[in-house]
Chains A and B, each alone.
Chain A
Amino acid sequence: MNLRKTPLALIVGAALLSLAACGGGGDPLDTTGSVDSGGSKDSGTIVVGSADFPESALLAEIYAGALEAKGVKVEKKLNIGSREAYIPALKDGSIDLIPEYTGVLAQYFNEKASATESDAVYAELKAALPDTLTVLDKSAAEDKDAVVVTQATADKYHLTSIGDLKPVAGDLTLGGPPEWKTRPTGVPGLEKVYGLKFKSFRALDAGGPLTVKALENGQIDAGNIFTTDPNIETKHFVVLQDPENLYAAQNVVPLITKSKVNDTITQALNAVSAALDTDTLTALLKRVVIDKEDEADVAADFLKEHDLG
């Protein structure tokens, strides 16, 4: 054993190992993903965020594409989490823009928000927003939370509206995203507005495949699925009607930091909002959820079709 060569070999070994480990150049800790790692690098860049469900990511991609087509520099931070997770990020500057829904957003900032009709909700929202944030034009496209059951369950208990669940809720399990446990549109709201007390609540995902699967195989009897979800049609789910308007109008609207707004951005995003409607959104979402296409590709197609990208 050559005593002198061994330390050299150790150093070479350590260097090789670090090369293998730190393969890619640059510092991965600096890239997108960590929402709290500081906001945009220069004042012109817009950081677009999204919630952790496919429609939000799709809308974020559409916004991002429309802005980029008008020469705005865009950085994307998708799939951050629920509203409780990304609003703080918006407030502290980690993101600048995110697609939102008028009704639930108004309720988030103003618990007493009670309007149900589209324009009234929009006005209430504008009044409720904190000083640093603003919304641009709302779109005709709507996507609401809904309480959904299988055809079999609807037949069994003769359910057409949410209120019909009242007598049987004590035997049923409700499924929804974890945030539904505390949200006014979730478990507390269903109890307050419709008097529903379910046997139990299962925390799953935000209208995603987990909830759909759970509904299908009977793990839950009623689930929170969004109205634009293509699974409702393909799996013959029944959307229970909401006569008390627990879920008010939910128009898609861009939520943006006031200081980042300028004419280019306003024009680009308003044009997008004008071009979107519920049927178009549902069709686009179907391509993402059922056909497994990438949100970015579907967004690009939409923008091209409407001369926005």
Chain B
Amino acid sequence: MNGVINWLTDPAHWSGDDGVVRRLVEHLEYSLVAVLIAAVVAIPLGLFVGHTGRGRFAVVNAAGAARAVPSLGLLFIAVMFVGPRLSGDAAFVLPCEIVLVVLAIPPILAGTYSGVEEVDSAARDAAKGMGMRGTEVLAKVELPCALPLIFSGLRSATLQVVATATIAATVGLGGLGRFLIDGLSVRDYDQMAAGAVLVAALALAVDVVFALVQRYAVSPGLTGRRVRRAAEPGVTPELAVHVTA
């Protein structure tokens, strides 16, 4: 325990090429780029599936299958096949981003289409009653109402990506995983444990930031998930799935 604290309080470990600050920034870069790309892909797709109900079966199952693919294996395969076609750092960063994007898409997708589906049909009908058509309903009513679940999906995705970005270090990239891998190879437990603590702290910080953003970005009329005793057994498995994922 002491060793970890000593390692963390040593200023030499924080600055420089190999320092905590640089690794932290790298880690965040890898993670945020992946979540952004995943959101750009998954949110429109989820909105489409939720709004029109088309392709739901295919999308839900594909997302479920994608969750089952082990990230480490996918990373190695991507480096072996995509890597040789690129040069410099990109040969390793791109495969890593591919893996993180594949990881981030299912939760965002699930959050989005569930969010849209769960919108109270009364609100939808009211919108139609006011004369709104298809995309207007989507943009002005369904999307804002779906925001809590979309946010929940984004939050879940970001957390998973930040956690998994540690494996980027196994293919020579940076990020906080570097301390875990380097410490592991020379059995420097202090470095390993310090790296582990840092990653956990980062994940926590990201989660807290998301919680705050969620609280203030979502319309106060929607007070987020509150499970009441329903009139009849009504919490569907899908709702539970994206809630817990």
Contacts and interface: CB of A to CB of B under 8 A. Distances in A.
Interface of A: 81-82, 84-85, 88, 175, 177-179, 181-182, 200-205, 210, 213-214, 216-219
B83 interface: yes
Interface string B110-147: 00000000000000000000000000000000000000
Q: Is the interface of B mostly helix, strand, loop or mixed?
A: helix
B226 to A, nearest CB: 29
Nearest to B93: A219
Contacts, number: 60
A205 B187 CA distance: 15
B34 interface: no
A217 B92 CA distance: 10
A213 B185 contact: no
A181 B185 CA distance: 11
Given A81-B184, A81-B185, A214-B92, 5 more contacts: A178-B182, A178-B184, A178-B185, A213-B79, A218-B88
Contacts of B178: 203
Contact of A203 (B84, B87, B89, B181): B181
A217 B83 CA distance: 9
B186 interface: yes
A217 B84 contact: yes
Interface of B: 17-18, 79, 83-84, 86-89, 91-92, 169, 171-172, 178, 181-182, 184-187
B88 A85 contact: no
B97 to A, nearest CB: 16
Contact of A219 (B91, B169, B182, B187): B91
A257 to B, nearest CB: 19
Contacts of A179: 185-186
Given A203-B178, A210-B172, A218 B87 contact: yes
9 contacts: A82-B185, A84-B186, A85-B187, A178-B184, A178-B186, A213-B83, A213-B84, A213-B91, A218-B88
Contact of A200 (B17, B83, B181, B186): B17
A179 B188 CA distance: 10
Contacts of A88: 187
Nearest to A216: B84
Nearest to A177: B185
Contacts of B184: 81, 85, 178
Contact of B186 (A182, A202, A213, A217): A182
B150 to A, nearest CB: 33
B130 to A, nearest CB: 45
B70 to A, nearest CB: 18
Contact of A217 (B91, B169, B181): B91
